[in-house]
Structure 1
Amino acid sequence: MGRVGTSYPENIDQIREQEYPNLRDTTYLDHAGTTIYAKSLIDQFARDMAANLFGNPHSRSPSSELSTRRVDRVRLRVLQFFKANPEDFDVIFVANATAGIKMVMDAFIQCDKNTTLPHTQDSPRPFWYGYHRDSHTSLVGIREIASQGSRCFEADQEVEDWISGKLATELDHPGSESQLGLFAYPAQSNMNGRRLPLDWSGRLRESSLPGHGNIYTLLDAAAYVTTAQLDLSNSKTAPDFTVLSLYKIFGFPDLGVLIVRKCSGHILERRRYFGGGTVDMVTCIKDKWHAKKAERLHEKMEDGTLPFHHIVAVDSALDVHERLYGSMDRISRHTCSLAKQLYDGLSSLRHANGKAVCVIYKDPASQFGNSKTQAPTIAFNVQNSRGGWVGKTDFERLADLHGIQLRTGGVCNPGGIASSLNLAGWELRRNFMEGTRCGNDLDVLGGKPTGVVRVSLGAMTNFHDIHHFLQFVSATFVDERHRFSELVTPGLSLEPPALQQVDSLRIAPIVGCAEWEIPAETSWEVRSTGLAWDREWCLVSEMTGAPLTTREHPAMKRLKSSVDIQEGVLKVRAQLEEVGETELTVSLWDIPSPTCEVKANQPSEDDTELPVPTPYTSKTISDFFTAAIGAPCTLARFPADSFPQAAEGSE
């Protein structure tokens, strides 16, 4: 096999045959999710477990002492793997990268840099949070508890301008030096594989601008470390906190790590909670006192019994990884070369009429084949020869039939998906209302895809995988049957036939109220029930909950309603005697929830069941319509995919 991986990647086919028998009948292209574990890793770990007795590290028996020694050994080896000096860094074992993110977040909730003791739970000091657009969902979620405010940096240049002082944030003002800040970003987008600048952490730490002194950095390296060397040899420029998952590198074990600069460890130490193994003494009868462990940071943070068997497995994982592949740099060169071939192949695919088959979501600054800017990950969608989208679900099902495993959907990267697919916030909320959920098969809404197809390569990917996938896409999706010239009969005009033109479209968002003409040249969705937003609301009595009719309340006809999709609101205008014309806006995405159990619909005289509308509980809404109609009433919304024409047609 060669000494210390020196034969890799030339011997990749031999490695696959001996180490990855589970890949013989499949083309696995989801290494960004997790890479594949080697057979010898499992064999070596099994021998280790069979030959040794590992006890709970919290005891003092020989088996427990063995576990402690092995855990300490692995902790040191992990630091060495990432070129981190143990004098400057500590490793905290966590379940996965997200658990490491949450550990950092929990610490920031309760403390700031200048305090010597944690703040009380009732009055935590606020902190500011900044995150990059390409962040994984787990990083985005921190914004929900950043009471000092948060900012999503939509482009690399915004971060550059912020670091250099050209762009201000909520924390960049006089008097903010006592406040904490946390800036988080991924080393690599888990959607399209573009790699972000790794020098932001050091440059931000060196900045002397107001507000920057108390900002710490959190790097999500989970996607990056799958095929690249994370180098933490310079502690002055390294992130304060780095999270990653070891299964993305080795395939096994399922374990994450949080790597902490010791100079920044005091942030974590301020947390109030303590668990078993993190304290030296606790009193709980009458007195409430405890003494935390004071020596090493990881001892204060690793609550309860460590997953010591999984940690012991890392020893085998590191041994096998080094023997097979030599170094992460070798893996990086190999996978980047294959990714360039795959990218060039997908880019070159054309239908017979010349249209591109694949729309690839690549950052302009990234370059396939350049490991500094681009990982071996490609996100794309497929179009047919007429420009229509091939659903990601259909693509994945067909890939499965051809023995190809990959990932489709939103891939836990909301910012990357929104920017790549050109989806505005209102479109995403509309898609949610239409039923789009993580992992479902609603593939195209409003003429745009709701997600992507993602293929990602790993250390054991070979040329056959690339060739097989390109063959599959070419044979399945390339239309070679017709060219434009073949569709034209000689002597006939190439001018398209005259089409019937629709002069105008009108909808009545609120049943019984005035119709509204959709602006010219505006695209409008047609649902299975008709035009979108037509007759989706009605007015109901606050006394009985029954829908109002224009026969009993003719003032309804004077209410003017319109839909502004970009702002995401329903606008209603009314002429009130005391104040004149006034306008009410209601969010299109605010779906009222029933406040009580609704009885089943009673059949009407024509034996058809009518949908039951759900009223809004807002006093502002009810006051507006009560004043406009002259009777106690409020707005109500019909369930999705229902048509309430019968409610007004009964007049």
Structure 2
Amino acid sequence: MSALNDAIVAFRDTEYPQLKGKAYLDHAGSQLPAASFITAFASDLNTTLYGNPHSTSTPSHLAGARVDAIRARTLAFFNASPEDYDLVFVANATAAIRLVGECFRDHALRARKHAFWYAHHRDAHNSLIGIREFATEHHCFGDKDVEAWLSNPATKPSAAKPALFAYPGQSNMTGRRLPLDWPVRIRATYGNNAYTLLDAAALATTAPLNIDAIAPDFACVSFYKIFGYPDLGALIVRKASADILRHRTYFAGGTVDVVVSDPDTWHVKRKTLHEALEEGTVAFRSIVALGHALDTHKRLYGSMEAVSTHTAALTRGMHAALAGLRHGNGQPMVWIHNEATAMPGDAKTQGATVAFNVLHGDGTLVPYGDVEREADARGVYVRSGGMCNPGGVQKYLGWNGKAMKMVLKAGHGCATPIQVHEGKATGVVRASLGACSVQADVDALVKFLRSQYLEKAASTTTIYIATGAEAELESVSEMNEKATMGKVKRPVGWAKRVMGLAGIH
């Protein structure tokens, strides 16, 4: 147990009163906002007049200045030098991903090449996979494929069109963490026409993000996954790679300096990258909230390094406890999914997540949605399903495209899942920890699983029953007691039987 656990226990009822009597284990979906953060933010809004930053009034100027200051603080939080990186506020990580994809598409159209090369990692979220619809050539890589691509010049994309490789820093399904040296290696191998997009939404939840060291061309985050609020995201952009984003065709209010609509049609975009990409009025009040979130997080937890150490210790214990659950017959109760290289407790290779399925004593699957529903009824909150991670479902649960078409035809879908089809699960149960998690949350999950799904072995005892009609019940009981203590051997004329829960057989 980490040193931070006791400190969190001391303030949790005050800072997270909504957790009293509950075990929240879906931090990969969203962290929870601390009460003092919400109080400080509300007080700020109640006492400070903020106006639309696009105006020039005093309230508007104040709002603009706060946005600029918080943008700089956020870059510092992610260890991104403002000389080398800019930060574009967007709705969420998916919006940041879509923005990059649309910019690459528009760049290809503007260059009249109508193409760009795209590859995503197999462990990618659907939002990353979706970029393939903008590309004319796309690939799905596993770890070995990435290494082969880096070492084999024959697989390199054409220099005539830009290449984009996108991957998650952490699997949103299993929590395993992927290599963070790929962006530097890709740039060293393929030069400035090959770009990397790092989906850091899951990684940044419980790990310090060192953008300067990782050096991706683009990285996306969602702040509600780190702080619980605001519902806001960001695209972090390496300035040396920013030109391709300036080819975005669409423009909106706030992104242009001049627009002419009649009779000529032309426009001039703003020079600062974030101004050219933040469409319409920036979510300035949400950004003000982000400033308070940064303050509160530092006051409560000290640093992301401390959060990482704390959650790594909890994850190691949770993994061990789940892996140790056994039915009475010795068979595992929990089937945990992950790569062999992911080591629970090692923050470099594993995040604060465990993905699993629950098994009956005979090895058949308990439907994952049933587990979530039963857990919910006990005040234990997990997530179940495919996690928008089709690569993970295929790899860990044994599906392929042909089989998925069959189960789809049978009626399976995200909103109406067939949880088990022909003996195979279509999703998992995911338990994920966050900054405010404590050991009691892990204990509650393990207690629920044990009490709900543990199947005790049939209590079997070898006994001896007299075959003659003259045998009395008392003699049977007495002989059974002696036999189970190993004090007698089978007497002549007595038959050996096994006494189980269902009786003598």
**If the length of structure 1 is used for normalisation, what is the TM-score?**
0.70
Q: 2:171 aligns with which of 189, 193, 204?
A: 189
Q: Is contact 1:219-1:241 (8 Å) kept?
A: yes
Give the structure 2 partner of residue 200 of structure 1: 182
What is the alpha-carbon distance in structure 2 between the residues aligned to residue 197 and residue 288 of structure 1?
Answer: 47
Is 1:244 the equivalent of 2:221?
yes
What is the alpha-carbon distance in structure 2 between the residues aligned to residue 187 and residue 177 of structure 1?
Answer: 26
Give the structure 2 partner of residue 352 of structure 1: 328
Q: Is contact 2:356-2:429 (8 Å) kept?
A: yes
Give 1:9 shift. Answer: 3.7
**SS of equivalent to 2:268:** strand
Give the structure 1 partner of residue 151 of structure 2: 164
Give the structure 1 partner of residue 474 of structure 2: none
Give 1:233 shift. Answer: 2.5
What is the alpha-carbon distance in structure 2 between the residues aligned to residue 445 and residue 244 of structure 1?
Answer: 35
What is the alpha-carbon distance in structure 2 between the residues aligned to residue 326 and residue 487 of structure 1?
Answer: 64
What is the alpha-carbon distance in structure 1 between the residues aligned to residue 24 and residue 150 of structure 2?
Answer: 40
Q: Is contact 1:352-1:483 (8 Å) kept?
A: no
Give the structure 1 partner of residue 125 of structure 2: 136
Q: Is contact 1:93-1:256 (8 Å) kept?
A: yes
Q: Is contact 1:9-1:325 (8 Å) kept?
A: no
Give the structure 1 partner of residue 199 of structure 2: 220
Q: Is contact 1:185-1:220 (8 Å) kept?
A: yes
Q: 1:12 aligns with which of 8, 13, 26?
A: 8
In structure 2, relative to structure 1, the CA distance for the partners of 1:239 and 1:460 (3 Å cut) is same
Give 1:213 shift. Answer: 4.7
What is the alpha-carbon distance in structure 1 between the residues aligned to residue 310 and residue 3 of structure 2?
Answer: 12
What is the alpha-carbon distance in structure 2 between the residues aligned to residue 434 and residue 483 of structure 1?
Answer: 41
Q: Is contact 1:8-1:326 (8 Å) kept?
A: no
Q: 2:96 aligns with which of 92, 96, 100?
A: 100
Q: 1:177 aligns with which of 159, 178, 181?
A: 159
Give 1:241 shift. Answer: 0.3
Give 1:124 shift. Answer: 5.0
What is the alpha-carbon distance in structure 2 between the residues aligned to residue 441 and residue 300 of structure 1?
Answer: 42
Is 1:429 the equivalent of 2:405?
yes
Range moving further from structure 2, 315-324 or 472-481? 472-481
Q: Is contact 1:28-1:404 (8 Å) kept?
A: yes
Give the structure 2 partner of residue 309 of structure 1: 285
Pairing of 1:315-464 with structure 2 (within 5 A): 315-464=291-440
Give the structure 1 partner of residue 484 of structure 2: none
Amino acid at match of 1:253: P
Amino acid at match of 1:205: R
What is the alpha-carbon distance in structure 1 between the residues aligned to residue 463 and residue 47 of structure 2?
Answer: 73
Give the structure 2 partner of residue 152 of structure 1: 140
In structure 2, relative to structure 1, the CA distance for the partners of 1:96 and 1:487 (3 Å cut) is farther
In structure 2, relative to structure 1, the CA distance for the partners of 1:160 and 1:449 (3 Å cut) is same
Give the structure 2 partner of residue 524 of structure 1: none
Amino acid at match of 1:241: F
Q: Show structure 2 runs of 5+ residues with no match.
A: 466-494, 499-505
In structure 2, relative to structure 1, the CA distance for the partners of 1:483 and 1:359 (3 Å cut) is farther
Give 1:93 shift. Answer: 0.3
Q: Is contact 2:5-2:439 (8 Å) kept?
A: no
Greater RCO structure (CA 8 Å; 6+ sep)? 2
What is the alpha-carbon distance in structure 2 between the residues aligned to residue 488 and residue 249 of structure 1?
Answer: 65
Amino acid at match of 1:189: S
Give 1:65 shift. Answer: 0.2
Amino acid at match of 1:119: R
In structure 2, relative to structure 1, the CA distance for the partners of 1:290 and 1:9 (3 Å cut) is same
Amino acid at match of 1:220: D
What is the alpha-carbon distance in structure 2 between the residues aligned to residue 276 and residue 441 of structure 1?
Answer: 42
Residues 381-426 of structure 1, C-alpha deviation per residue, up to 9 Å, x if partnerless? Answer: 0111111110112111110111011100001111011100011211
Give 1:8 shift. Answer: 3.4
Over the aligned positions, Cα root-mean-square deviation in angstroms equals 2.0
**SS of equivalent to 1:111:** helix
**SS of equivalent to 2:6:** coil
Amino acid at match of 1:196: L
Give the structure 1 partner of residue 261 of structure 2: 284
Higher helix content, 1 or 2: 2
Give the structure 2 partner of residue 89 of structure 1: 85
**SS of equivalent to 1:11:** helix
**SS of equivalent to 1:143:** helix
Give the structure 1 partner of residue 471 of structure 2: none
Greater C-alpha Rg = 1
Q: Is contact 2:3-2:310 (8 Å) kept?
A: no
What is the alpha-carbon distance in structure 1 between the residues aligned to residue 361 and residue 4 of structure 2?
Answer: 41
Amino acid at match of 1:228: A
Residues 313-371 of structure 1, C-alpha deviation per residue, up to 9 Å, x if partnerless? Answer: 11100000000000001111111111111111111111111110000002100100100
In structure 2, relative to structure 1, the CA distance for the partners of 1:447 and 1:63 (3 Å cut) is same
**SS of equivalent to 1:197:** coil
**SS of equivalent to 2:40:** helix
What is the alpha-carbon distance in structure 2 between the residues aligned to residue 411 and residue 483 of structure 1?
Answer: 40
Give the structure 1 partner of residue 444 of structure 2: 468
Amino acid at match of 1:455: A
Residues 134-155 of structure 1, C-alpha deviation per residue, up to 9 Å, x if partnerless? Answer: 00000011111211x11101x2
Residues 172-220 of structure 1, C-alpha deviation per residue, up to 9 Å, x if partnerless? Answer: 4xxx212111000000000000000000000010115xxx651100000
Give the structure 2 partner of residue 61 of structure 1: 57
Count of aligned residue pairs for this structure pair: 468
Q: Is contact 1:242-1:258 (8 Å) kept?
A: yes
Give 1:10 shift. Answer: 3.1
In structure 2, relative to structure 1, the CA distance for the partners of 1:144 and 1:486 (3 Å cut) is farther
Q: Percent identity?
A: 46
Is 1:75 the equivalent of 2:68?
no
Q: Is contact 2:118-2:164 (8 Å) kept?
A: yes
Give 1:440 shift. Answer: 2.8
**SS of equivalent to 1:263:** helix
What is the alpha-carbon distance in structure 2 between the residues aligned to residue 15 and residue 156 of structure 1?
Answer: 41
Amino acid at match of 2:146: V
Give 1:7 shift. Answer: 7.6
Is 1:43 the equivalent of 2:66?
no
